[in-house]
Amino acid sequence: MLCEGAIMVALSQILSYIKLMELPNGGSLTPAMFPILLFAVRWGLADGLLAGFVFGLLQLMFDGAYAWGWQSMLLDYLVAFTPLGLAGLFQGKRWGIFAGTVLGCFARFVVHFISGVTIYRIYAPTEILGTVFDNPTLYSIVYNGSYMLPNTILALVIAALLYAPLKKFYLGADIQR
């Protein structure tokens, strides 16, 4: 489990450099979340949360962290990536990778949303694509949703494309307990 976790975290870090879209104030569209979600579904909640935390730590260290102080570093990296491990709640379930992806990504979005409302409210009012946002709550939903929704969809598409060839892997049927 430990070796597989290290490989999945390393793979996530490598995939995080494939940025299909990048926003000016942090946030990007990458395939990086999928290995963490897959690991969590295979090994369970505790191991998944740990893998998400380690990935968040690597993102903070190596991905050019966009942060406004230690609070932002804590929320947008260490706390935000950890909930990807919630996918582990669906360990061994037939469609667990899909439900786990939605739950893990939604939980990550919630953390980024809280960060946006509490820390990044200093940007208000903010203009995005010609629309001015005076409300930090609405701004945080729009800004963080603009990359988290596509990230969720991308992870679901990857899971669907790999479902047939990796079904035993998703279900953890190859793990000897």
Tokens of 169: 């892997």
For residue 34, how many other CB atoms are within 10 A of its CB? 24
Residues contacting 165, CB < 8 A, separation 6+: none
pTM: 0.90
For residue 151, is it within any domain? yes
Q: For residue 112, what is the domain's CATH number?
A: 1.10.1760.20
For residue 43, is it within any domain? yes
Mean pLDDT by 10 residues, the chain (177 residues): 97 96 84 98 97 95 72 86 97 95 98 86 64 78 92 98 91 80
For residue 109, is it within any domain? yes
Q: Give the pLDDT confidence score for residue 116 in this predicted structure.
A: 84
Residue 134: domain span: 2-9+31-170
Q: Give the pLDDT confidence score for residue 153 in this predicted structure.
A: 98
Q: Which helix (H) or strand (E) holds 45?
A: helix 45-62
Please give the tally of structural domains in the chain. 1
Residues contacting 69, CB < 8 A, separation 6+: 119
Q: Give the pLDDT confidence score for residue 70 in this predicted structure.
A: 74
Q: Give the pLDDT confidence score for residue 121 in this predicted structure.
A: 64
Which residues are 13's β-sheet partners?
Answer: none
For residue 136, is it within any domain? yes
For residue 22, is it within any domain? no
Q: Give the pLDDT confidence score for residue 109 in this predicted structure.
A: 97
Q: Give the pLDDT confidence score for residue 128 in this predicted structure.
A: 65
For residue 100, is it within any domain? yes
Distance CA 48, CA 53 (A): 9
Q: Give the pLDDT confidence score for residue 136 in this predicted structure.
A: 80
